[in-house]
């Protein structure tokens, strides 16, 4: 009795495997009968894939890679400035290296680049006009509405501002890509994909330049502002020291033949003032130079590694597109016939059970 119970599951497994094998053979025979359809549809999809690449408008990609090295901490500089009543907090502490990636796709930076001329295209035509000109249908439509061409970023109508927002969105979300090669490394790659190679190259180079300049300027704004304050303090003390030295020399000349000690008090007072100002001036000069050195160490260092070069065309393989299309067509055809056969088999089983 126990032995029968042990052998029964094995027999059921063997039966199920045999049934699966028979069903697989049946399915293969069924699909073999449909081979003309499968081959024909696969071939049609392969032709469609080939034609898609052949007819498609050529695409171009421009890429620029740079390294971003963050400056050292500002603790020493902040402590030094606090001795003179200044706050040397770095203005861009909230603008970290990772935020530079988002900054490059911000509307402010993209707009600034789109309204910038470039020698690669024209010294007077903004990039946005060249971008629209490469799309004849859009240029004709916007020209009829009085939107195109764009003349100045500061003199936009409401309609132009709305149209500009659409261009910025299309450029930043669909064509522009900014990423780090490796999270552990400081390399950043900026890429632009479009149908015009001149615009792609010019846009990538300009947006990298503008975004990094804005990043460094914002990062170091407070530091440079306070160094300027310290420089003005140095200039003020220097001027006061010169005046004090002139005054001391004059009193020395006046008291050259004076015998009374009381008459020499003003001269001694001015001498003390000169000594104090000289000491203060020396300390200010020393700290100013030290502040400049620390600021230079804290300033982010941006180095361009790779720049885009012509030709920029990204050639999609026609053979690869045909193979993918053929495989997709064959898969869909097999799936369709297989599903239909499975449903028919279920219907037959249901009919047999009812009978």
Model pLDDT, residue 176: 93
Please report which confidence band the pLDDT of residue 88 belongs to, taking 50, 70 and 90 as the band edges: very low
pLDDT band with cut points at 50, 70 and 90 for residue 25: confident
Instruction: Enter the pTM of the model.
Output: 0.64
Higher pLDDT, 73 or 92: 73
- CATH assignment of 59-220+301-314? 3.30.1890
Q: Give the separation between CA 287 and CA 281, rounded to whole angstroms.
A: 10
Report CA 174 to chain centroid distance, whole Å: 13
> What was the pLDDT predicted at 92?
41
Residue 262 pLDDT level (bands cut at 50, 70, 90)? low
pLDDT digits (tens, 9 = 90+) for 112-147: 999 988 877 777 788 999 899 888 888 898 988 888
Quick check: 87 and 228 in contact, CB under 8 A?
A: no
Sorted by where each begins, the domain ranges of the chain are 25-55+318-345, 59-220+301-314, 233-298
| Residues found in the chain | 355
d(C-alpha 219, C-alpha 225), whole Å:
12
Half-sphere exposure (Cβ direction) of 340: Cα atoms closer than 13 Å: 9
Q: Of 303, 304, 119, 310, nearest to 200 (Cα)?
A: 310
Task: Output 81 or 291, whichever has higher pLDDT.
Answer: 291
Instruction: Tell me which of 23-32, 138-147, 262-271 is least confident.
Output: 262-271
pLDDT band at 89; cut points 50, 70, 90 = very low
Instruction: Compute the average pLDDT of residues 180-199.
Output: 84
Cβ neighbours of 227 (radius 10 Å): 20
Neighbours of 235 (CB within 10 A): 11
Q: At what angle do helices 221-254 and 75-82 cross, to 10 degrees?
A: 40
Phi, psi torsion values for 301, nearest 5 degrees: -105, 120
Average pLDDT, the chain: 79
Q: Is the dihedral of CA 228, 229, 235, 241 positive or negative?
A: negative
Give the model confidence (pLDDT) of 285-298 as tens digits: 888 888 888 888 87
Residue-level pLDDT at 255: 63
Both tokens assigned to 241: 């020291």
Cβ neighbours for 143, distance < 8 A, ≥ 6 positions apart: 149
């Amino acid at each position: 009795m126990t032995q029968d119970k042990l052998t029964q599951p094995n027999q059921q497994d063997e039966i199920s495997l045999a049934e699966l094998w028979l069903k697989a053979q049946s399915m293969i025979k069924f699909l073999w009968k449909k081979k003309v359809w499968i081959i024909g549809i696969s071939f049609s999809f392969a032709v469609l894939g080939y034609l898609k690449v052949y007819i498609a408008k050529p695409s171009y990609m421009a890429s620029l890679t740079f390294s971003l090295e963050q400056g050292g901490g500002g603790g020493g500089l902040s402590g030094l400035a606090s001795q003179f009543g200044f706050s040397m907090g770095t203005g861009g502490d909230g603008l970290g290296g990772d935020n530079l990636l988002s900054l490059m796709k911000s509307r402010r930076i993209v707009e600034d680049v789109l309204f910038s001329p470039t020698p690669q295209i024209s010294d007077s035509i903004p990039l946005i006009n060249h971008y629209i000109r490469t799309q004849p249908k859009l240029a004709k439509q916007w020209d009829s509405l009085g939107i195109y061409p764009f003349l100045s970023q500061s003199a936009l109508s409401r309609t132009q501002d709305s149209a500009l927002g659409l261009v910025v969105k299309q450029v930043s979300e669909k064509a522009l890509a900014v990423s780090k090669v490796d999270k552990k490394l400081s390399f950043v790659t900026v890429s632009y994909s479009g149908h015009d190679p001149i615009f792609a190259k010019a846009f990538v180079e300009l947006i990298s330049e503008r975004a990094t300049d804005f990043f460094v300027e914002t990062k170091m704004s407070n530091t440079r502002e306070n160094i300027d304050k310290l420089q003005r303090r140095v200039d003020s003390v220097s001027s006061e020291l010169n005046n004090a030295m002139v005054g001391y020399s004059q009193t020395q000349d006046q008291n050259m033949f004076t015998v009374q000690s009381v008459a020499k008090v003003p001269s001694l007072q001015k001498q003390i003032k000169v000594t104090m100002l000289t000491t203060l001036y020396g300390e200010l000069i020393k700290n100013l130079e030290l502040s400049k050195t620390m600021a230079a160490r804290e300033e982010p260092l941006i180095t361009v590694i790779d720049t885009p070069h012509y030709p920029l065309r990204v050639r999609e393989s026609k053979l690869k597109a045909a193979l993918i299309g053929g495989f997709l067509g064959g898969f869909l055809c097999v799936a369709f016939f297989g599903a239909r056969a499975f449903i028919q088999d279920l219907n037959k089983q249901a009919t047999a059970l009812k009978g």
